[in-house]
């Protein structure tokens, strides 16, 4: 999700960088992830004493806690979700996803689905929906499925949609004095009459 650029603060340093093919920027010999749609693009990296911000198209597209040392990978798995959409098998051994710290109910559902044929594809579909409606909805839906003992992607997706459904629209209140002068009738033969005899088949 794009966020407004945070105003500069004390110790703020800005550097222009090009995102790598693997969607990473390098700061002080450490690597930080960026959403894959910005791979190979030039971005502005805002560096403070404790935070790294990546800015593209005048929006903050990635934020990480700054780490010190060398050769460390700081990765947000959500940045690589489009990769899973094309290659769901990466969910099993892809570096960003192996140690993904998801809520426990989601981890339990993931473990259950990955034991089934095409379970990785099913779990990726849940993640894609969660990206739109929120991780909390996926967590609650997974809890419900686990409690009911029916852990399937369609049931969890239906529960997520139910949780995030805005509900039916409120009924309109008509102002006084507005009435129909001619009530509608469910009478298909009246159209034959309007066409006239010359159009009769």
Residues 60, 132 share a domain: no
Is residue 175 situated within a structural domain?
no
Instruction: Report yes or no on 130 lying in a domain.
Output: yes
Range of the domain at 18: 13-75
Same domain, 86 and 159: yes
The verdict on 68 and 84 lying in the same domain is: no
Looking at the predicted structure, is the pLDDT value of residue 9 above 50? no
Q: Which of 57, 75, 93 is the last residue of a domain?
A: 75
Residues 101 and 181: their CA atoms lie apart, in Å, by 64
Instruction: List the one residue out of 46, 37, 40, 35 whose CA is nearest residue 5.
Output: 46
Q: Is residue 84 part of a domain?
A: yes
20-65 pLDDT tens trace:
999 999 998 999 999 999 999 999 999 998 999 999 988 999 999 9
- What b/e string do you get for 67-106 counting C-beta neighbours within 10 Å, with b at 16 or more? eeeeeeebbbbbbbbebbeeebebbeebebbeebebeebb
pTM value > 0.85: no
Same domain, residue pair 69 and 91 = no
118, part of any domain:
yes
pLDDT digits (tens, 9 = 90+) for 141-183: 999 999 999 999 999 999 999 998 877 777 767 677 777 777 7
**Same structural domain, 83 and 157:** yes
Number of folded domains that form the chain: 2
Give pLDDT tens digits for 80-122: 999 999 999 898 889 899 889 999 999 999 999 999 999 999 9
Q: Which residues contact 31 (CB under 8 A, 6 or more apart)?
A: 20, 24, 25, 72, 73, 74
């Amino acid at each position: 999700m794009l966020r407004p650029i945070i105003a500069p603060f004390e110790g703020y340093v800005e550097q222009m960088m090009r995102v790598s093919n693997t969607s990473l920027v390098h700061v002080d010999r450490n690597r930080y992830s960026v959403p894959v749609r910005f791979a190979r693009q030039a971005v502005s990296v805002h560096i403070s004493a404790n935070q790294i911000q990546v800015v593209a198209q005048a929006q903050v597209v990635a934020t990480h806690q700054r780490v010190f040392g060398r050769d460390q990978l700081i990765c947000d798995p959500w940045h690589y979700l489009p990769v899973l959409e094309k290659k769901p098998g990466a969910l099993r051994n892809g570096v960003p996803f192996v140690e993904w710290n998801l809520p426990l109910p989601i981890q339990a559902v993931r473990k259950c689905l990955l034991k089934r044929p095409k379970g990785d594809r099913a779990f990726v579909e849940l993640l894609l929906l969660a990206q739109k409606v929120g991780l909390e909805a996926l967590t609650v839906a997974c809890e419900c499925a686990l409690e009911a003992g029916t852990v399937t992607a369609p049931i969890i997706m239906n529960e997520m949609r139910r949780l995030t459904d805005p509900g039916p629209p409120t009924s309109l209140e008509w102002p006084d004095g507005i009435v129909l002068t001619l009530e509608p009738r469910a009478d298909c033969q009246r159209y034959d009459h309007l066409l006239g005899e010359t159009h009769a088949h």
